[in-house]
Structure 1
Amino acid sequence: MTDRFRAGAGRLCLDFIRTLRYRGTPAPVEELPDASAWGAWIDAFGPFGTPVRPASVDDAWAARESIHALLTDALRPSLRQRLNSFAALPVPAPALTPSGELRWQADDPASAMLALLVRDALELVTSPEFARVRRCAGPACGALFLDTSRPGTRRWCSMEICGNQAKKSTYRAKAETR
């Protein structure tokens, strides 16, 4: 996987909704501006062994925003229907190649990926893990992540980025008051 997209939120659906960086700030950054970027995301995170070239990114945006609403308790009946529609799409099927390798195939890989993402979100919100979904404490971040730490006190989506920035800010503030 390239560094183009962030990973490590703890669930595939959480990594997916992070494709709108800095959500809720004055300057959000869209990581899926077009179908090519959506295909690159599927290539990076999906189970397919060959490049995926979707025709549009519109369904990906709709699914992402519906998943975010589901996870942040802003779900309306129309969004629930949209999520159920995406979840009902055919998922990739495993197939054994002549050389004995497992490959995942779908008639429409982009739609199959949306089904996987929405199913992952639905499983998450109906599981005990949902109590461990956190919003990053970074003031400009707002990303959601699954806190898998033993005490359940993780504060940042990434210690290397948001956690490090917070610690630097605290250090600078203390240095200025001395």
Structure 2
Amino acid sequence: MSEAFVTQTRSGVRVGGEVTTKDLRRAGFPFRSGRICLDFVATVAKRRLGDRELLPGPDELRTWCRVAGLPEPEDEITPDLLGGAHALREALYRLARARVDGTTHPAADIETVNAAAVAAAAPPTALLGADGFTAVPCDGSSLAGILALIARDAIDLLTGPYALRIRECTAHDCSLFFVDRSRPGSRRWCTMASCGEKASSAKYRQRHPGYH
């Protein structure tokens, strides 16, 4: 059974789509963080464990936007624009890393995020679907508008009620950041359905060596 996945910010931006697998992947991209800005960070897979680029070119970036529930960029994605998207993503990564580690936020990365946030006066917003319950992406937007939405979501997260709830998954083969919305604030894995289950299974096998 599929489940709805929606990100909502204090500014009212809602983006979403359909999740059809238990590890919350769409078209090979992970969506397990609970915020679109952190999902964008996750387009480098296995950070510090190999760093696999999931957005090597314009086609992959367009696909990510589509499966993230965002409009596909209507402008041509030149190498410079792709590089700008990568630069924003890495700035977001370092800011999230600093928040997780409790270190100083790099000033240059703050400037990068702020510049992206104001690069488009009106970033895309979701529209109300025909059923009255579903948020659907509007048609057409520039890449700058889409990146502005992502940057504004990051600002919203870093200054909002979950500002100190950004976590890094503790699974040994996962490096994803996520927002911990649990009541005690002690969540360890990006999702129980993926990393949590694997960790529980591994612990069980340690306790029961004969189990296969």
Q: How many residues align?
A: 171
SS of the aligned residue for 2:208 comes to helix
State which of 99, 108, 113 in structure 2 corresponds to 1:78: 108
Provide the residue aligned with 2:11 in structure 1. Answer: none
Cα deviation 1:48-80 (Å, max 9, x = unaligned): 2x6655234211110111011112226322222
> Is residue 39 of structure 1 aligned with residue 62 of structure 2?
yes
CA-CA distance at 1:95 after TM superposition: 10
Change in Cα spacing, 1:95 to 1:28, as seen in structure 2 (3 Å) is closer
Superposed CA RMSD in Å reads: 2.7
CA-CA distance at 1:12 after TM superposition: 0.7
> Structure 2 matches for 1:156-167, cutoff 5 A?
156-167=189-200
Change in Cα spacing, 1:83 to 1:14, as seen in structure 2 (3 Å) is same
Q: Which amino acid aligns with 2:113?
A: L
**Structure 1: runs of 5+ lacking an equivalent:** none
Q: Which amino acid aligns with 1:33?
A: P
> Is residue 59 of structure 1 aligned with residue 77 of structure 2?
no
**Structure with more of its chain in helix, by fraction:** 1
> Is residue 139 of structure 1 aligned with residue 168 of structure 2?
no
> Is residue 21 of structure 1 aligned with residue 45 of structure 2?
yes
> Is residue 176 of structure 1 aligned with residue 199 of structure 2?
no
CA contact (8 A) 1:9 1:145 kept: yes
Change in Cα spacing, 1:92 to 1:105, as seen in structure 2 (3 Å) is farther
SS of the aligned residue for 2:178 comes to strand
Provide the residue aligned with 2:21 in structure 1. Answer: none
TM-score, normalization by structure 2 = 0.71
TM-score, normalization by structure 1 = 0.83
